[in-house]
Amino acid sequence: MQPQRFLDRRISARARLRTHYPDAVIRGQAGTGTHELRSQRRAQFLVALASCALAAGDS
């Protein structure tokens, strides 16, 4: 139950990104500024992962 909600959150986050940036930027093929975006996404993923682990520990 918990992993499915986590997965839905990941998918919706990617869909939100897709509305703001073109597809090439999301895949990391757009040249300048792409590294910042990628590291930002990695940080967001780590935060989501940590919160998911905390939620699993609470139950």
The pLDDT tens digits of the residues spanning 1-15 come to 566 676 666 666 666
Query: Nearest-CA neighbor of 17 among 40, 35, 46, 1?
Result: 40
Please tell me the predicted confidence (pLDDT) of residue 13. 65
Which phi-psi region, left, alpha or beta, contains residue 21 (left: φ > 0; alpha: ψ -120 to 50)? beta
Q: What is the mean pLDDT of residues 27-50?
A: 71
> Could you tell me the CA-to-CA distances from 22 to 3, 16, 19, 30, 36 in Å, in that order?
28, 11, 7, 9, 15
Residue range 20-33, pLDDT digits in tens: 555 555 555 555 55
Q: What is the mean pLDDT of residues 37-58?
A: 82
Please tell me the predicted confidence (pLDDT) of residue 53. 82
